[in-house]
Chain A
Amino acid sequence: MLPAPVGGPVPERHVGAEAALSGGLTSLLGAAGLALGLSVIFGDPRHLRIGWLLPLVGVSFDLDPLGGVFVAATGAVSVAVGVYSVGYAKRGRWARLPMVTLPLFVAGLLLVPAAGSVTTFLLSWELMAATSLVLVLSEHRRDAVRSAGAFYAVMTQLGFVAILLALVILAAAGGGDTFATIAAHAPGLTSGTRTTVFLLTLVGFGSKAGLLPLHAWLPKAHPEAPSPVSALMSAAMVNMGIYGIIRIDLQLLGPGPHWWGLTLMIFGALSAVFGVLQASVATDLKQLLAYSTTENMGLVTLALGAAALLSSSGAPAVAAIAMTAALLHLLSHAAFKSLGFLAAGSVLSATGLRDLDKLGGLARRMPATTVLFGIAALGASGLPLGAGFASEWLLFQSLIHSPHDSNTVLALAMPLSVGAVALTTGLGIAAMVKAFGVGFLARPRTAAAGAAREAPASMLAGMSLAAAACTVFAVAPVLLGPTLRHVLGELPTLGGSAEGPALGTILRLPGVAGSISPGLLAAALVIAILLAVGIARWSTRHRPPATETALWACGADALGPRMQYTATSFAEPLQRVFDDILRPDTDVEITHFAESQYLVEKVTYRTRLDDPVEQRFYTPVVRAVRMWAQLVRRAHNGSIHLYLTYGALWMLIVLLVAK
Chain B
Amino acid sequence: MTQTTYTGALDLAAGAFLLAAVLIVWRRELRAIVRLLAWQGTALAAIPLIEGVQQRDAALITVGVIVLLLKALALPVLLGRVVGTEVGERRESTPLVNTTASLLITAGLTVLAYAVTRPIIALDPTAATRAVPASFAVILIAIFVMVSRRRALSQAVGFLMLDNGIAATAFLITAGVPLIVELGASLDALFAVLVLGVLTGRMRRAFGDTDLDQLRELRD
Direct contact between A and B judged by beta carbons closer than 8 A: yes
Closest CB in chain A relative to B111 CB, distance in Å:
6
Q: Are A412 and B122 in contact (CB-based, < 8 A)?
A: no
| Count of chain A residues with a beta carbon within 8 Å of a chain B beta carbon | 7
The answer on a CB contact under 8 Å between A408 and B118 is yes
Interface string of A412-441 (1 = CB under 8 A from B): 100110000000000000000000000000
Do B114 and A411 touch across chains, with their CB atoms under 8 A apart? Answer: yes
Nearest CB of chain B from residue A583's CB, rounded to whole Å: 15
Which residues of B in the span 15-50 have a Cβ within 8 Å of any Cβ on A?
none
- Whether a CB of chain A sits under 8 angstroms from the CB of B115 is yes
Are B122 and A406 closer than 8 Å at their CB atoms? yes
In the assembled complex, the Cα of A411 lies from the Cα of B110 at a distance in Å of: 13
**Alpha-carbon distance between A406 and B118 when the two chains are bound, in angstroms:** 8
**Residue on B nearest A577 in the bound complex, by CB:** B100
| A419, closest chain B residue (CB) | B107
Cα A211 to Cα B188 in complex, Å, equals 54
**Nearest CB in chain B: distance from A375 CB, A:** 36
CA distance A406 to B101 in the complex (A): 30
Closest to B111 in A: A412
Q: Convert A578-596 into 0s and 1s, putting 1 for each residue whose CB lies closer than 8 angstroms to a CB of B.
A: 0010000000000000000
Contact with A along B108-138 (1 / 0, CB 8 A): 0001001100100010000000000000000
Q: Roughly how many angstroms separate A406 CA and B122 CA in the complex, as a whole number?
A: 8
Complex interface: chain B residues within 8 A of A408 (CB) = 115, 118
Are B118 and A416 in contact, with the CB atoms below 8 A?
Answer: no
Residues of A within 8 A of B114 (CB): 411-412
CA distance A411 to B111 in the complex (A): 9
Chain B interface, number of residues (Cβ within 8 angstroms)? 6
B112: nearest residue on chain A (CB-CB)?
Answer: A412
Cβ of A412: which chain B residues have Cβ within 8 Å of it? 111, 114-115
Give complex CA distance A416, B115 in Å.
Answer: 13
Is the beta-carbon distance between A411 and B115 smaller than 8 angstroms?
yes
CB of B111 within 8 A of CB of A416, answer: yes
Shortest B133–chain A CB gap in Å is 11
Q: How far is it, in angstroms, between the C-alpha of A408 and the C-alpha of B118 when the chains are bound?
A: 7
Shortest C-beta distance, A184 to chain B (Å), equals 40
Contacts of B122 in A (CB 8 A): 406
Give the distance in Å from the alpha carbon of A408 to the alpha carbon of B121 in the complex.
Answer: 12
- A412 to B114 Cα, complex, angstroms: 9
- In the bound complex, CA of A406 to CA of B115 (Å): 10
Measured CB to CB, the nearest residue on chain A to B116 is A408
Which B residues are CB-close (under 8 A) to A416?
Answer: 111
CA distance A580 to B98 in the complex (A): 11
Write out the residue numbers on chain B whose beta carbons fall within 8 Å of the beta carbon of A406: 118, 122
Docked complex Cα distance between A416 and B122 (Å): 23
Residues of A contacting B111 in the complex (Cβ-Cβ under 8 angstroms): 412, 415-416
Q: What's the Cα separation between A408 and B114 when bound, in Å?
A: 9
Please report the C-alpha to C-alpha distance between residue A416 and residue B101 in the assembled complex, in whole angstroms.
Answer: 16
Most buried by B among A408, A415, A416: A408
CA distance A302 to B88 in the complex (A): 51
Q: Which residues of A contact B118 (CB under 8 A)?
A: 406, 408, 411
Which chain B residues border A415 with CB–CB below 8 Å? 111
Distance in angstroms between the alpha carbons of A584 and B101 in the assembled complex: 18
What residues of chain A lie closer than 8 Å to B115, measured between beta carbons? Answer: 408, 411-412
Q: Which residues A160-184 have CB closer than 8 A to chain B?
A: none
Shortest beta-carbon distance from A309 to chain B in Å? 16
Complex Cα–Cα for A412 and B112 (A)? 8
Chain B residue with the shortest CB-CB distance to A412: B115
Alpha-carbon distance A507/B182, docked complex (angstroms): 57
- Nearest-neighbour CB distance to chain B for A256, whole angstroms, equals 22
Kindly report which residue of chain B lies nearest to residue A406, judged by CB atoms. B122
Chain B contacts with A in 73-125, Cβ cutoff 8 A:
101, 111, 114-115, 118, 122
B125 to chain A: closest residue by CB: A406
For the complex, give the distance between the alpha carbons of A580 and B111 in Å: 23
The complex places the Cα of A7 from the Cα of B118 at a distance, in Å, of 63
Interface string of A380-412 (1 = CB under 8 A from B): 000000000000000000000000001010011
CA of A28 to CA of B184 in the docked complex: distance in angstroms?
85
Q: What's the nearest-Cβ distance from chain B to residue A404, in Å? A: 11
Task: Give min CB distance, B67 to chain A, whole Å.
Answer: 31
Min CB–CB distance A111 → chain B (angstroms): 45
| B95 vs chain A, min Cβ distance (A) | 15
Q: Which residue of A lies closest to B117 (CB)?
A: A408
Q: Cα distance A408–B115 when bound, in Å? A: 6
Tell me how far the C-beta of A457 lies from the nearest C-beta in chain B, rounded to whole angstroms.
52
What is the CB-to-nearest-CB distance from B34 to chain A, in angstroms, rounded to a whole number?
Answer: 31
Once the chains are docked, how many angstroms separate the CA of A415 from the CA of B112? 12
Q: Bound complex: CA of A416 vs CA of B104, how far in Å?
A: 12
Taking the closest CB of chain B, its distance from the CB of A157, in whole angstroms, is 39
B32 to chain A, nearest CB (A): 25
Chain A residue nearest to B114 (CB atoms) is A411
CB distance from B149 to the nearest CB of A (A): 20
Within 8 A of A (CB), among B119-173: 122
Quote the shortest CB–CB distance from B3 to chain A (angstroms).
Answer: 20
A567–chain B nearest beta-carbon distance, Å: 25
B103–chain A nearest beta-carbon distance, Å: 13
Q: Shortest Cβ distance from A422 into chain B, in angstroms?
A: 14
**A-B CB proximity, top 4 nearest:** A408-B118, A408-B115, A412-B115, A412-B111
> Which chain A residues have a beta carbon within 8 Å of chain B's beta carbons?
406, 408, 411-412, 415-416, 580
By a beta-carbon cutoff of 8 Å, the part of chain B in contact with chain A is 101, 111, 114-115, 118, 122
| Known contacts A408-B115, A411-B115, A412-B114; 10 further A-B pairs (Cβ under 8 A) | A406-B118, A406-B122, A408-B118, A411-B114, A411-B118, A412-B111, A412-B115, A415-B111, A416-B111, A580-B101
Q: List 8 A-B pairs, Cβ < 8 Å.
A: A408-B118, A411-B114, A411-B115, A411-B118, A412-B114, A412-B115, A415-B111, A416-B111
